[in-house]
């Protein structure tokens, strides 16, 4: 009796085991994407269960396969398998030859024609390494990089890398900020710090058409060492410029007497000694030929020359920029009033990537543009403090205490002090020669000790890049934004929608059902 009982249930238990095993195998494969031990074990159970069922129910299976219902069922099964096969083939072909249609009015999901033309010109493979940590949002980056992949005919690829898990690779490509994308083509690289279609396309264009960009750091006046790794050095600034394919050199202007012809930008950081007349003449000759100079000044509290010296006088008389002999006091800076905080950014290529970042300036002096509306030289005050800050011109207490000076009972004097908002940085462009100049009233922000803080490093690099006037190699035609407005329905329309969806339509279905039931009863 027990044997007969098991012969009845055992095949169905085997069939159940086969179904469960197949389901577990499919689920394990979806999760692991590999034929590992869980998948193989579940498939073994499924095969064993199916074998048990076929062994004990062979007669039943033979009868079912030869019956009329089986013949009809087999036809349906063949048709189903044919449809599945056709759909699978179509899906496979689509995966091999993908095609996208952008149905938006302004083609917002399509790369600009200029970018498409650039990608069509690729004859060498380019790989984009996107350095994003686990906490960073990669949605936009993936969408944009995928667009480049689909439009490149297989020449462009990308890979996301967590710089925390793979610090060696981040160090290899000089990545210091989360969200940096590095384009690699052969032995050449280009960094994109703020990802956008325009930035990525221009980085790709620079990769395809490299230019020798040489930046000279002036020495001989007490400037910090660009090779020094300590807090007072400029090694981080130099390294980031080199990561952007700039060649960084030093220039002893007093000995050379002229700026080299290959100089794209001349950088002067924190001079403590005055420039000689021959040095100023060399800078002036360089600027007259369309060159570019970046100045990061110290305050006289830190030992720098006062504005009466030749360099500051030249800047004021020739370029209309006043480098005030003061020290900026910012009450909004907690516990460090000598630490000036950027509160306002003017709309300018140097500051357009700093809108969500603050910059800090340890012991800064004010820098002002005398005539912003000068037709010959366009000056822009890039960064300003809060209105509560001011430029203190009485420096004797600070000079006596040096950099360790503390603020006690110091109040602004509107008669002699520079009242807030205090400008901390300016940019000037000569409309005739094309010369460019950036002046920041602090040099400490670019040193290693403060370079990585907030947007300091970005400000330093952006100043050099704007002065270099490389410009965008790819000018993307801006898309027109279509404004659409959704007007919410009024209360009458909302009530009508509610009555129709909740009362009228369900009521009509119920009424129709009742009519059908009654008619059937009357007929019977």
Residues 6+ apart with CB under 8 A from 190: 182, 183, 203, 204, 206, 207, 244, 245
Give the CA distances from residue 366 to residues 83, 307, 381, in Å, rounded to whole numbers and listed in that order.
76, 11, 10
pLDDT bucket at 380, cuts 50 / 70 / 90: very high
pLDDT bucket at 166, cuts 50 / 70 / 90: very high
What is the CATH architecture assignment of 234-468?
3-Layer(aba) Sandwich (3.40)
Q: Is the dihedral of CA 373, 378, 379, 382 positive or negative?
A: positive
> What pTM value is reported for the model?
0.66
- Across 16-28, average pLDDT: 81
Lay out the sheet containing 390-392: strands in order across: 327-329, 390-392, 418-419
pLDDT per position as a tens digit, 89-137:
888 787 777 777 777 777 777 888 888 888 888 888 999 999 999 898 9
pLDDT per position as a tens digit, 40-85:
888 888 888 888 877 777 666 666 666 666 666 667 767 777 788 7
In the chain, ranges of CATH 3.40.50.880 domains: 234-468
Q: Is the dihedral of CA 180, 185, 189, 192 positive or negative?
A: negative
Does the pLDDT value for residue 402 go beyond 60? no
Of the candidates 303, 304, 285, which has an alpha carbon nearest to the alpha carbon of residue 293? 285
Does the pLDDT value for residue 476 go beyond 80? no
Q: Which helix (H) or strand (E) holds 157?
A: strand 156-161
CATH classification of 113-197 is 3.40.30.10, yes or no?
A: yes
In the chain, ranges of CATH 3.40.30.10 domains: 113-197
Q: Note the pLDDT of residue 456.
A: 92
- Across 403-413, average pLDDT: 64
pLDDT per position as a tens digit, 479-514:
666 677 777 878 888 878 877 887 788 878 888 888
Residues 6+ apart with CB under 8 A from 254: 220, 276, 278, 279
pLDDT bucket at 6, cuts 50 / 70 / 90: low
Does the pLDDT value for residue 310 go beyond 90? no
pLDDT per position as a tens digit, 323-350:
988 899 988 877 688 888 888 999 999 9
């Amino acid at each position: 009796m027990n044997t007969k009982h098991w012969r009845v249930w055992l095949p169905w238990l085997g069939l159940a085991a086969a179904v469960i095993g197949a389901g577990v195998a499919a689920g394990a494969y979806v999760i692991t994407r590999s034929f590992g031990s869980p998948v193989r074990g579940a498939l073994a159970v499924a095969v064993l269960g199916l074998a048990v069922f076929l062994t004990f129910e062979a007669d039943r299976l033979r009868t079912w396969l030869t019956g009329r219902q089986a013949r009809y069922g087999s036809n349906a099964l063949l048709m189903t398998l044919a449809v599945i096969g056709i759909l699978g083939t179509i899906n496979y072909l689509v995966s091999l030859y993908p095609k996208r249609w952008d149905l938006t009015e302004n083609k917002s999901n399509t790369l600009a024609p200029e970018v498409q033309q650039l990608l069509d010109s690729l004859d060498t493979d380019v790989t984009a390494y996107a350095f994003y940590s686990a906490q960073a949002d990669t949605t936009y980056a993936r969408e944009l990089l995928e667009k480049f992949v689909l439009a490149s005919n297989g020449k462009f690829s990308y890979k996301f890398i967590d710089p925390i898990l793979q610090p060696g690779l981040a160090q290899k490509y000089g990545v210091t900020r989360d969200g940096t994308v590095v384009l690699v083509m052969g032995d050449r690289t280009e960094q994109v710090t703020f990802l956008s279609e325009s930035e990525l396309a221009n980085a790709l264009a620079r990769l395809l058409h490299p230019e020798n960009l040489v930046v000279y750091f002036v020495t001989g006046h007490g400037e910090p060492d660009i090779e020094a790794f300590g807090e007072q050095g400029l090694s981080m600034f130099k390294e980031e410029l080199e990561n952007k394919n700039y060649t960084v050199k030093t220039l002893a202007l007093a000995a050379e007497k002229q700026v080299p012809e290959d100089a794209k930008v001349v950088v002067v950081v924190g001079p403590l000694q005055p420039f000689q007349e021959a040095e100023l003449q060399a800078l002036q000759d360089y600027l007259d030929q369309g060159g570019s100079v970046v100045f990061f000044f110290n305050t006289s509290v830190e030992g720098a020359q006062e504005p009466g010296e030749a360099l500051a006088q030249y800047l004021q008389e020739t370029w209309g920029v006043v480098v005030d002999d003061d020290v900026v006091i910012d009450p909004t800076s907690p516990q460090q009033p000598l630490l000036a905080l950027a509160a306002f950014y003017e709309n300018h290529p140097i500051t357009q990537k700093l809108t969500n970042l603050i910059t800090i300036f340890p012991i800064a002096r004010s820098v002002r543009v005398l005539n912003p509306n000068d037709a010959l030289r366009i000056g822009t005050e890039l960064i300003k403090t809060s209105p509560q800050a001011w430029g203190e011109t009485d420096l004797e207490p600070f000079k006596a205490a040096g950099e360790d000076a503390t603020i006690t009972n110091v109040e602004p004097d509107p008669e002699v002090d520079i009242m807030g908002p205090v400008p901390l940085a300016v940019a000037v462009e000569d409309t005739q020669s094309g010369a460019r100049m950036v002046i920041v009233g602090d040099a400490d922000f670019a040193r290693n000790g403060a370079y990585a803080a907030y947007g300091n490093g970005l400000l330093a690099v952006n100043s050099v890049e704007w002065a270099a006037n490389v410009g965008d190699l790819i000018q993307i035609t801006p898309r027109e934004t279509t404004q659409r407005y959704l007007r919410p329905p009024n209360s009458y329309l909302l009530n009508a929608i509610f009555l129709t969806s909740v009362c009228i339509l369900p009521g009509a279905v119920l009424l129709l059902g009742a009519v059908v039931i009654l008619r059937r009863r009357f007929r019977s």
